[in-house]
Structure 1
Amino acid sequence: MLGLASSSTRALQAFQVMRFVAMLSIGVAMARLGYGKTAIGNYEAVLFISGLFTTFWVTGLIQALLPLYTRNSYISKDDRLFNAFMVIFGLSVLACLFATILTATLTGFAAIDGSNLFPLMLLYMLLSTPSTMVEYIYFLHGNYKAMLSYGIITYGIQVVLVVLPVLFGMGVAFTVLGLIVVSAVRFIWLISLLVHNSKFRINVDFLKDFLSDGIPLSLKFLVSSSGLYIDQLIIGYHFGPSTFAVYRFGAREIPLVTILTVSLSNSMLADFADRQKLSRNLDNLRNESLRLMHILFPISIAAILLSRWLFPIVFGTEFHESANVFMIYCLIVLSRVIFPQTVTQGFRKNVAVLTISIVEMTMNIILSLLLVKHFGINGVAAATVIVYTLEKVLLVAYNTYSLKIPAVMYVPVKAFWVYSLISVSAFAFAWLVL
């Protein structure tokens, strides 16, 4: 852990890996211990609905906070963390109220018993959403060892408290209570950190900057996340339930790709708060991008080459066509490993990020509708890869012409093109030969 704690990027990546491993462990335990499909479905519905109402805006606000908070902010207490908490907690309350208004619709959609699980879900949403700040407070203060210790403790507690009710054959409400208990621990932990690291007073100037940056980013993530649902609607309209299931099983990125790239981008955002170190920060971004390329491209190439063999084994022969969709999705790595969005957001040009995201979504709809007619579900997957790439091209162009920062300053161009050529060649070989 000492090696991970020596780097902001490694620490944040390790923390997000902990989160993924905890969620994966819970899912595997539920399935292996014979928890019923209905119970598992209700548990997943709680997580899905909570995320539906909160993920896009809390992600946007956290990413807006990072460039506004300089690395040496811990030297003296100020009020920025408290004001950020106040906004996030207030929006969490509003999200719970909005979900309450839609109780009938949501309980019908997700088959959740409104008199039992729904109130528990609201409490979980209220406590867990603001608690996202904890790891970033540690991160912003450079206390990476404490951040990793916090992750080990809380995610360990989460796995135990959620799996124990499954082990003893208790109802799904007890698994959600486990989530609530660990969320309460995180929330109390957050309040303690705020007491020690922030002054409890209103800062109107900071709130203006925070919201003016956070609102476009929140809308950006709302627009971006809608693309997945739009694709599924298009598939559902053109094909039957069986084809829809085939697409759903294949239309997923390699989790490690998303975890490591998002964590790298977030960790670099905080560096851009100090404009005097811009050249060094761009060099760091290029070097970290290269490091990720050496990790993620080989993993993606291996996944492309092995997917047609592995999918029938893992999911059954009826889902062998899902491998084709997954192979196409593996090519998303080409757009994930370059980070023009980090530069654009680091300079707080978030309206530009939102505008480009809207262009991406529009093109996604158009391309999906065109390609689904000729290539079926594979065409929809290909449209996703194309528009993700288009988004990065537009961001690179914006950085080059508006910010006067060419791609060579933060992208290891030669390595990127070599790895991209190998990946596309591997895809062509797997698609045509294997």
Structure 2
Amino acid sequence: MNFSKQINNVSSLQFFQLFRFGILFIISICFAKSHLTISEIGIYEKLIFLSGAISFFWVNGVIQSLLPLYNNNKTFAKTNKSPVLFNALFISIIFSIIIISILLITEKNSSSFLISTTEIPYKWLFVVFFVVSTPAFLLEYVYLLLNKPRSIIYYSLLTFSLQFVAVVFPIWIGYGIKEGLYGLIAVSALRLIWLIILVLKNSKPIISLSFIKEHLILAAPLIAGALISGSMPYIDGIIVSSNFDNATFAIYRYGARELPLAMLLANAFSNAMLPEISENNDISIALKSLKEKSKRLMHFLFPISIILIIISHWLYPIIFNPQFIKGAEVFNVFLLLIITRLVFPQTILLGLKKTNILLIVSIIEFIIKLVFSIWLAKYYGIVGVALGTLIAFIIERAILITINYKYLKINPNQYIDIKWISFYSTLIIIVYFFVERNIYGF
């Protein structure tokens, strides 16, 4: 196989996400095997969590709205050095400053709610890290828009390898978390400088209030939708903690996780397809590409998910301990989410800038999830909470597919390989009910 021919925007962005996940996972292993105490590692993890908690929703909204806008907006003509990228960078920096300012002003309440402390550990180091690291999330997507997939791969290999060394090396030679944070800040600053140079090279430094308005109008529903979706795990936690004891809560948390590989590959694929859908005058070409490429993901991710369902009850006591074996029941339900992850009606709506529809459906999904999780928890315990999530995801995808068909006149068969998704969905459901037949009294 000629691997150079396999390098494209989709595969390079998927590689980026996988390599990033792998490096972060290896860093966590190195921390666990170092001289650091669990409490010290907990401080580092809380800071990373805090950074993500106050940025994931707006970063997601800014990026996903930028992708269809880049070559298809009302403000700038399609030119080699359009100011679009410069304005997107400007928006990201301003957002970072505003969000961190709000966090500092409300530090006691915010940190107590998010990380259960009255003040932020290593506060000013965290402030610097957040301000320099958050805008840099744009970088791989700038390369995507410039159609430079190889640059995405080179960038990920270089910066995440540097991050591993910069964060782990100080710890392994005897220093503490503070020095690890210095290393993290240094690499984040390098990414930001890299991004600024790349943007100035490919975009005119002109601030346009009209484009910023256009960008934010498109981004606002995505930001709100991401905030709603991102709150679902917290709602799960509230439902479980209010109905079950602490031990059951811990078991649920250890089980309530999707296959990371599926999430990373599916999300990267969806984002990489947005420019293709937005810029293509003949959308049927983009839909055909969406269908073919998503089919490849099915052939890869469904077999992995099926195997994990079969072995999870054997695997969980080994990875964790025998007390967490009930977590495998929850995990197996979350593995069924692969059925919805590999269907992409939302990508079409986003590419066509129908973001208000996505927000409305997110609200509906949230309500459905809440109702079904509370109801099913009475009958199936923590598995019922997970089933509520699965049902909400399935209904959400069904609504989006219907909207595409009824209002955009896009037949599901144009972008979904009905034969293969039906085959794999049926197979994984049969395997699931066979493995978990005791839960449902079969």
Shorter chain as denominator, the TM-score bin is: over 0.9
Q: 1:403 maps to what in 2?
A: 408
Kept in 1, the 8 Å contact 2:86–2:204? The answer is yes
Determine the structure 1 residue equivalent to 2:243.
238
| Structure 2 partner of 1:46 | 47
What does 1:109-124 align with in structure 2 at a 5 Å threshold? 110=115, 114=119, 117-124=122-129
Q: Decide which of 76, 79, 104 is 2:108's aligned counterpart.
A: 104
**How far, CA to CA, are the matches of 2:252 and 2:221 in structure 1?**
31
State the distance in 2 between where 1:378 and 1:198 align. 50
Structure 1 residue 165, shift from structure 2 partner: 2.3
Q: Which amino acid aligns with 1:236?
A: S
Once the two structures are TM-superposed, the CA of residue 276 in structure 1 deviates from its matched residue by 1.1
Distance (Å, rounded) in 2 between the aligned partners of 1:399 and 1:36 = 52
Contact 1:123 1:180 in 2 (8 A): yes
Tell me the SS of whatever aligns to 1:264.
helix
Distance 1:40 1:6 in 2: 37
Residue aligned with 2:231, SS: helix
> Aligned partners of 1:129 and 1:78: how far apart in 2?
23
Contact kept, 8 Å, 1:328 with 1:385, in 2: the verdict is yes
Shift of 1:428: 1.1
Runs of 4+ aligned residues of structure 1 deviating over 6 Å after TM superposition are none
Q: How far did 1:144 drift?
A: 1.2
Residue aligned with 1:272, SS: helix
Distance (whole Å) between structure 2 residues aligned to residue 103 and residue 113 of structure 1: 7
Q: Which moved more, 1:408-417 or 1:162-171?
A: 162-171
Residue 132 of structure 1 aligns with an amino acid whose one-letter code is F
Contact 2:255 2:327 in 1 (8 A): yes
8 Å CA contact 2:68, 2:275 repeated in 1: yes
Q: Please, which of 335, 345, 359 is the counterpart of residue 340 of structure 2? A: 335
Q: CA 1:209/1:5 → structure 2, altered by over 3 Å: closer, same or farther?
A: farther
Which residue, 83, 97, 111 being the options, matches 1:93? 97
**How far did 1:102 drift?**
2.3
Q: Distance in 2 between matches of 1:74 and 1:315?
A: 54
State the Cα distance separating 1:74 from its structure 2 match. 8.8
Determine the structure 2 residue equivalent to 1:419.
424
Give, in angstroms, the shift of residue 273 of structure 1: 2.1
User: Residue 300 of structure 1 aligns with which residue?
Assistant: 305
Secondary structure, in 3 states, of the residue corresponding to 1:35?
coil
CA apart distance, 1:145: 1.0
Instruction: Identify the match of residue 218 of structure 2 among 213, 220, 241.
Output: 213
CA distance in 2, matches of 1:184, 1:256: 28
Amino acid at match of 2:259: I
Q: Per the alignment, do residues 134 and 291 of structure 1 end up closer, same or farther by CA in structure 2, a change over 3 Å counting?
A: same
Q: Which moved more, 1:178-187 or 1:196-205?
A: 196-205
SS of alignment partner, residue 3 of structure 1: helix
Q: Structure 2: which amino acid aligns with 1:198?
A: S
Deviation at 1:121, TM superposition (A): 1.2
Gaps of at least 5 residues in structure 1 are none
The counterpart of 1:77, out of the listed 61, 81, 93, is: 81
Identity of aligned residues (%): 36
Contact kept in structure 2, 1:4 and 1:11, CA below 8 Å: no
* Equivalent of residue 146 in structure 1, options 151, 165, 176: 151
RMSD: 1.8
What code does the residue aligned with 1:52 have? A
Per-residue CA deviation, residues 321-360 of structure 1 (Å, 9 max, x unaligned), is 0010001110000000000000011110000000000000
Q: Which residue of 2 aligns with 1:381?
A: 386
Kindly state the Cα deviation for residue 3 of structure 1 after the two structures are TM-superposed.
Answer: 2.7
**Structure 1 counterpart of 2:255:** 250
How far has the Cα of 1:136 moved from its partner? 0.7
* 5+ residue gaps, structure 2: none
Deviation at residue 394 of structure 1 after TM alignment: 0.6
Counterpart amino acid of residue 92 in structure 2? I
In the TM superposition, what is the alpha-carbon distance from 1:104 to its structure 2 partner? Answer: 1.9
Matches of 1:111 and 1:403, distance apart in 2: 46
Q: Which residue of 1 aligns with 2:228?
A: 223
Normalization by structure 1: what TM-score? 0.96
Q: Which whole-Å CA distance do the structure 2 matches of 1:58 and 1:223 have between them?
A: 14
- Number of residue pairs the alignment of both structures matches: 433
**Distance of 1:111 and 1:275 partners within structure 2:** 48
Answer yes or no: is 1:61 the counterpart of 2:66.
no
Separation in 1 of the partners of 2:78 and 2:40?
45
TM-score (norm 2): 0.95
The change in CA–CA distance for 1:169 and 1:49 in structure 2 (over 3 A counts) is: same
**Partner amino acid for 1:334?**
I
1:83 partner amino acid: N
| Residue 157 of structure 1 pairs with residue 162 of structure 2 | yes
1:75 Cα deviation (Å)? Answer: 5.8
